[in-house]
Amino acid sequence: MPPKRLLVVEDYQQLRDLIGTVLREVGGYSIETAADSKSTERLIAEQPFDLILLDVGVPGGLSGQAIAALARLRLGCPILFMTGRDLAEADWAGLLEPGDRFLHKPFKMDVLLAEVATLLKTEAPKTLKPPKAKRARAPN
Could you tell me what percent of the chain has a pLDDT over 90?
Answer: 57
pLDDT at residue 102, rounded to an integer: 84
Q: Which segments of 76-126 does DSSP mark as H helices, in order?
A: 109-120
The phi, psi pair for 83, rounded to 5°, reads -150, 150
Cβ-Cβ contacts under 8 Å for 89 (sequence gap 6 or more): none
Residue-wise pLDDT tens digits, 19-48: 999 999 999 999 999 999 999 999 999 999
Give the type of residue at 69: A
The domain segmentation of the chain, as residue ranges, is: 5-120
Overall fold of domain 5-120: Rossmann fold (3.40.50)
Q: CB atoms < 10 A from the CB of 127, how many? A: 10
Residue-wise pLDDT tens digits, 44-71: 999 999 999 999 888 888 888 889 989 9
